Amino acid sequence: MSFFDKNNIISQISLKLEVSELNKAKEKLLVQIKDIRYRHDKLLNDPKEQERFAREKYWMKRPDEDIFIMVSGE
């Protein structure tokens, strides 16, 4: 005689698979967090990295430079 409720073997197997997938996703996110923290610390402490960021993000330039923005045709 067997009983079918929310704790049957099929449910347990699917829950174990879901836990496994969630643990893999967690590991990927932890690696991404580590990378983002590294880049954040580098940006705060490295003047060359700050200059690169300002040039790329905000199109800043030195007084003796000209900036040319290339826009691809869509």
Q: For residue range 34-68, list pLDDT tens digits in order.
A: 999 999 999 999 999 998 888 888 888 888 888 77
pLDDT at 74 over 80: no
pLDDT at 9 over 70: yes
Residue 12: per-residue pLDDT: 87
Between helices 47-58 and 9-45, what is the axis angle to 10°?
110
Residue 22: per-residue pLDDT: 98
Can you tell me the distance from the alpha carbon of 49 to that of 65, in angstroms, rounded to the nearest whole number? 19
In which domain, by residue range, is 74 found? 1-74
Our count of domains for the chain comes to 1
